[in-house]
Structure 1
Amino acid sequence: MTRKFFGTDGIRGRTNQMPMTAEMALKVGQAAGAHFLRGAHRHRVVVGKDTRLSGYMMETALVAGFTSVGMDVVMVGPVPTPAVAMLTQSMRADLGVMISASHNKFVDNGIKLFGPDGYKLSDEDELEIEALIESPPALVPAEAIGRAKRIEDARGRYIHAVKQTFPARLRLDGLKVVIDCANGAAYQVAPSALWELGAEVTAIGVSPNGLNINEACGSTDIALLRRTIVDAGADLGIALDGDADRLIVVDEKGNVIDGDQLMALIGSSWHRRGALKGGGVVATVMSNLGLERFLQGEGLTLERAKVGDRYVLESMREGGFNVGGEQSGHIILTDHGKTGDGLVAALQVLAEMVLAGRPASELLNLFQPLPQLLKNVRFDGGAPLEAETVKAAISAGETRLGAGGRLVIRKSGTEPLIRVMAEGEDEALVGEVVETICEAVRTA
């Protein structure tokens, strides 16, 4: 069955337009709360958010929805998405909610849900919640309405948990690190954690005003980070997205390091220490063939999942893997958490730098990526991928790339975009194939 409201990462859209309205948030709170009312205990939900202006509106509506069906609410304020996952489990809550549109601009917002185990919900749970959204709410009697409270130490709890993932025998003394927090959820916790571990920290993107999240900063726009690294003579740059569940790393020369290179580093390093589980790494269909060939050379496998960090995690759990992620920078390390965590992944990279005593530019370029090109085509309604002209262009592209290349065409699960990705040995050919398919999609 097709989901109506949920995409690859919760419910997301432009604020004050369906499905991202206060009314919808109220219904989500009522539906998700009713779905997780199981057993006779007092039920609890943890609600966090990023720094976008609409977070206050969405938080208030969700709290009203949850309390109206008898669930107590703990509000933790602006914290990273992985902090909500961690707090949901540690506080023995029945449900966790993160209000965030991740890497999107402030005009968008979203609702991500976590189960009592700290994992994102399954497709089945989301379908059941969607059915409840479109049904009359199960309101409780006046005396059973839930209570709401705000806790102030959530950020401190998360900082402590993150530092526990860094090897106890190591320190970051002598390392200059630039951290770009995207004016988002990690604007306080990320610089603090790095400083407490001994790094000399230059923090940018740490002045949120509700409107500037992901604006000319963060993992989607690293120009400022690259300039700051070179100007400061820093050893490493870290760019988080708005809810800090993913990162992009920049070396001391200003070169960008994507999630594929990070997975190569962490996977191979953990393998040499006997800490890697599953005999390989889980990535998505978007990860570069160069990563797959590198892992094969290390005697490891690359398992590919659908795009979306929760699908990566599902494959990891099924196959017993403990390292996985996406090229975009979602890195999931199940020894340390239940979802992608940009700060935890960054600390693993810094630990490897300390242990190796080598600059990032040497340590983080483990393989030569094959020429790969991704372009997005925005569409307004309709089903362009069903057009015969588009199907013909895709078939012709696959033929031209041959056995040594790959073509991945998909509809975005978070935005009205068709994503067209090709890779192969011939960079010019890759470009031609992508542009031909993009033009067919635009015309359709």
Structure 2
Amino acid sequence: MAERRYFGTDGIRGRANTHPMTPEVALRVGLAAGRLFMSADDRRHLVVIGKDTRLSGYMIEPALVAGFSSAGMDVLTFGPLPTPGVAMMTRSMRADIGVMISASHNNFADNGIKLFGPDGYKLSDEVELKIEAMMDEALDTDLAAPDQLGRVKRIDDAQARYIEIAKASFPKRLSLQGLRIAIDCANGAGYKVAPTTLYELGAEVFPVGVEPNGVNINEQCGSTHPDTLVEAVKRYRADIGIALDGDADRLIICDEKGQIVDGDQIMALVALDWSRRGLLTGGGLVATVMSNLGLERALIAEGLTLERTKVGDRYVMERMREGGFNVGGEQSGHIILHDHATTGDGLMSALQVLAVLVESGRPMSELARQFDKVPQLLQNVRYTAGKPLEDAQVKAAIADAEARLAGQGRLLVRPSGTEKLIRVMAEGDDEALVRSVVADVAAAVKAAG
């Protein structure tokens, strides 16, 4: 595959007002994607654009709008809306392409551009490479004539539409009446829709992280800073806590005792419940190479399978579509429920957990432990230049670690798709061995980077 210049594992991402996250690049994205997705017929073509609450969204959005409209595409803007909401609206409004402006769980200084096709799914690597090639072409070619420029309009009820879609995914026979729910919206895209949805389903809601100011998204809150949620659960004596990230496509759960429940346990809870109800398709679930070995063992014990993909929820989704699976996701909390959504959806995933909680009548602390985790350790090693994984000493350290783990666990060493980080992960039944191999490989990476 050709070398990527703009797109990473989840769209284009970078520090705001620094290449590639500049107005010029956003303009080029709009022009290139607009040209690619406009067919030869005479109908009007449409792009929909949502964003999270970052200050730089007000810079990136107009540049995208200019690019798409100058290519001749009509543009509908939604304002703050979760990533899965943009995916849903792309399909329901019969748009040719959808765009989400967000850097997900990163802090406010970063931003990103995620693209969806007309079917509401994230674009394939091949389509992204086509867009990249077109982005580097001259800007003044194939522009729309003055009378063919795209028209731009703000859709004010996008959040209300998403709320109704989310509520429809919760079983009609159930209610959240009597449940005390703490929810941390990370001062991000879900800050209005998530608490409102839970309230309208009957819950007593205690929201935090719902006062975005442009620079506080993910700041000591949300799914990547669960201490805030834990504190809220204890303060409000909640039955369950839910933490979303900046664009609300992932979640972390906290039980009533303040214990964190990660994406692996959430996937197991939903998949095993759906399996018992005859709702699970594909004979198992799809997760990434990062998911815990304990999840795999638990599924096998129930006659189900775990299929692994490389990291990135769009790769999980691709495998789900290929194999007919309706549950998949990542340990980090991206949970994809294909019966309801085309990408990870933190709110809808939380609603499925809440359905099990309500129907079982058991506390979340009991439901949270679907399997015993195998000791697993992840260490992120930052580097400044070069390609540490091509260093001879790093290769030797990895080979030695794999030999020591043979038959007892597994090692995964990979570069981050969005930052200059090498992620070193090992897991196995011998915790001391796991810690040792991670430390040795991480030390080699540090020395090379």
Q: State the distance in 2 between where 1:88 and 1:248 align.
A: 26
Q: State the distance in 2 between where 1:77 and 1:120 align.
A: 20
Gaps of 5+ in 2: none
Counterpart amino acid of residue 111 in structure 2: N
Pairing 1:177-192 to 2, within 5 Å after superposition = 177-192=181-196
Gaps of 5+ in 1: none
Q: State the distance in 2 between where 1:87 and 1:407 align.
A: 40
Pairing 1:331-350 to 2, within 5 Å after superposition = 331-350=335-354
Counterpart amino acid of residue 103 in structure 1: H
Q: State the distance in 1 between where 2:200 and 2:51 align.
A: 24
Q: State the distance in 2 between where 1:140 and 1:232 align.
A: 56
* Maintained 8 Å contact 2:220/2:228: yes
CA drift of 1:272 comes to 0.6
Give the alignment's TM-score, normalised by structure 2. 0.98
2:16 aligns with 15
Pairing 1:23-172 to 2, within 5 Å after superposition = 23-38=24-39, 39-137=41-139, 138-172=142-176
CA drift of 1:4 comes to 1.5
Give the alignment's TM-score, normalised by structure 1. 0.99
Q: State the distance in 2 between where 1:239 and 1:254 align.
A: 12
Show CA shifts across 1:64-107 (max 9, x none).
00001000100000000000000000111000000000000000
Q: State the distance in 2 between where 1:248 and 1:2 align.
A: 34
Q: State the distance in 2 between where 1:219 and 1:436 align.
A: 29
Say whether 1:283 aligns with 2:287.
Answer: yes
Say whether 1:307 aligns with 2:311.
Answer: yes
CA drift of 1:401 comes to 1.4
Q: State the distance in 2 between where 1:173 and 1:266 align.
A: 21
Moved more, 227-236 or 332-341: 227-236
Q: State the distance in 1 between where 2:25 and 2:92 align.
A: 28
Counterpart amino acid of residue 97 in structure 2: L
Say whether 1:363 aligns with 2:367.
Answer: yes
Show CA shifts across 1:18-67 (max 9, x none).
10001100000100111100133100000000000000000010000000
Say whether 1:329 aligns with 2:333.
Answer: yes
- What is the aligned length? 444
Q: Partner of 2:8: helix, strand, or coil?
A: coil
2:406 aligns with 402
CA drift of 1:377 comes to 0.8
Say whether 1:220 aligns with 2:224.
Answer: yes
1:176 aligns with 180
CA drift of 1:169 comes to 0.9
Show CA shifts across 1:225-255 (max 9, x none).
1011012111100000000000000100111
Q: Partner of 2:7: helix, strand, or coil?
A: coil
Q: State the distance in 2 between where 1:416 and 1:110 align.
A: 16
Say whether 1:316 aligns with 2:317.
Answer: no
Counterpart amino acid of residue 151 in structure 2: R
C-alpha RMSD of the superposition: 0.6
Q: State the distance in 1 between where 2:309 and 2:3 align.
A: 19
Q: State the distance in 2 between where 1:238 and 1:275 align.
A: 24
Counterpart amino acid of residue 159 in structure 1: I
Q: State the distance in 2 between where 1:14 and 1:32 align.
A: 22
Q: State the distance in 2 between where 1:59 and 1:277 align.
A: 38
Pairing 1:194-209 to 2, within 5 Å after superposition = 194-209=198-213
Q: State the distance in 2 between where 1:164 and 1:41 align.
A: 32
Say whether 1:269 aligns with 2:270.
Answer: no
Show CA shifts across 1:411-444 (max 9, x none).
1111111111000111111111111111111110
Counterpart amino acid of residue 104 in structure 1: N
Counterpart amino acid of residue 210 in structure 1: G
Tell me which stretches of 4 or more aligned residues in structure 1 moved more than 2 Å.
none
Q: State the distance in 2 between where 1:381 and 1:10 align.
A: 22
1:376 aligns with 380
Q: State the distance in 2 between where 1:228 and 1:330 align.
A: 22
Q: Partner of 1:321: helix, strand, or coil?
A: coil
Q: State the distance in 1 between where 2:158 and 2:208 align.
A: 22
CA drift of 1:2 comes to 2.3
CA drift of 1:379 comes to 1.2
Q: Partner of 1:183: helix, strand, or coil?
A: coil
2:446 aligns with 442
* Maintained 8 Å contact 2:408/2:430: no
Show CA shifts across 1:97-118 (max 9, x none).
0000000000000000000000
Q: State the distance in 2 between where 1:20 and 1:436 align.
A: 35
Q: State the distance in 2 between where 1:86 and 1:12 align.
A: 22
CA drift of 1:3 comes to 1.7
Q: State the distance in 2 between where 1:400 and 1:171 align.
A: 51
